[in-house]
Structure 1
Amino acid sequence: MITLGPLTRAAALAGLLFSAIAGATPVAAAPADVELLKSYIGEWRGRGVLYGASEESVVCRLSLSEGNQDKVNYSGRCALAGTNLSVAGTLAYVDASRRFEAAMTSNATFTGIAVGQKRGSGLVFNLRERDQDEEGKDLNITAQIHLDRDAIQVVFEVVYIDSGDSLRAEVPFSR
């Protein structure tokens, strides 16, 4: 089993916060799609567990605010075993590609774009990335973020390709 170092945990936290929301410039987005994004504006808090070589508590805060051109901006922070992670990004409905997108940057060098789609009364964002840890080992990163009414559920997983070892986080957020 691989022992996950602080940088790997920070990258996992970046993915987790990115998952919590996951720019792109919308072009004449439908009013209902813009309103759906804006319905998540506010302050969110999450507490969950990161499973890996050991279990660790994760505590997160997330703030969503109105951005320019029908975008929603977000910024967040998570704490895990003395490691802090910050993320920032934008949510938008991109009419040209007929989909929701979430873009993110972080202080742990993790960046990416997640694609979202309507499911019921909410949104589901899926992210699949391939990356390397600080030692150059290949990782598969997957995340699913379910935004529904007054809740956000995040499930994030990092799998080391060579060994199959994994790191999984599950964090429910509420206002």
Structure 2
Amino acid sequence: MTHFGPVSRALAFAAVVVSTGIAVAPAYAGPAEVALLKSYIGEWRGRGTLVGAATESVVCRLSLTQGNQEKINYSGRCTLAGTNLSVAGTIAYVDASRRYEAAMTSNATFSGIAVGQKRGGGLVFNLRERTPDEEGKEMNISSQIALNDDSMSVSFEVVYVESGDSLTAQVPFTR
């Protein structure tokens, strides 16, 4: 069994949080898409649980602000396993691909790709990716970030390919 150290847990969590983003192409969104993105502008706080070999608390803060053109910028910080994870990025609707897309950077040097879809009155970003951790061990990552009215939730699962060990987390956010 793999025993996830603080850095390994933080990197796996970073991979999921960062994976909400991609390099955003120029956006030319219509009024409805822009209005939906702007509805999430504000300060968000989340508290949840990371479950793996041990159970740990995850505490996050996220700020969404108006960016250039029709884009929304975000920056945030999560604390878990005695480690701080910083993230920053941009969310936009890209007419050329007819979807919501996001870009993110982090202090964990991870980047990933996620695509958002409108569901009901909100947005849902899903990601499935395979990437190595800091020790080169392959991880399968599945995550979902749901934005709906005055709530946001992040859920994810990281499975280490070689051992089958996993990390899961649920982090609900409110304004």
Which interval holds the TM-score relative to the shorter structure? Answer: over 0.9
**Structure 1 residue 17, shift from structure 2 partner:** 3.4
- Contact map agreement 1:25 1:69 (CA 8 A) in 2: no
How big is the shift at 1:149? Answer: 0.4
Superposition RMSD in Å: 1.4
The answer for unaligned runs of 5 or more in structure 2 is none
The answer to whether the 8 Å contact 2:48/2:59 transfers is yes
Amino acid at match of 2:144: Q
3-state SS of paired residue (1:113)? coil
Q: Distance in 1 between matches of 2:118 and 2:7?
A: 33
Letter in 2 for 1:3: H
User: Per the alignment, in what secondary structure is the counterpart of residue 69 of structure 2?
Assistant: coil
Identity of paired residues, percent? 70
Looking at structure 2, the residues matched to 42 and 102 of structure 1 have their Cα atoms a distance apart, in angstroms, of 17
Name the counterpart of 1:9. Answer: 9
- 2:71 alignment counterpart: 71
Could you list the per-position Cα deviations for residues 75-110 of structure 1 after superposition, in whole angstroms to 9, with x for gaps in the alignment? Answer: 010001210000000000010000001111110111
Contact 2:9-2:81 at 8 Å conserved across structures = no
Contact 1:15 1:156 in 2 (8 A): no
Residues matched between the structures, number: 174
- Give the match for residue 39 of structure 2: 39
The TM-score normalised by the length of structure 2 is 0.94
3-state SS of 1:75 partner: strand
Query: Relative to structure 1, is the Cα distance of residues 100 and 139 closer, same or farther in structure 2, using a 3 angstrom cutoff?
Result: same
Offset of residue 3 of structure 1: 0.8
Confirm or deny: 8 A CA contact 1:87 1:106 kept in the other structure: yes
Equivalent residues in 2 for 1:109-124, closer than 5 Å: 109-124=109-124
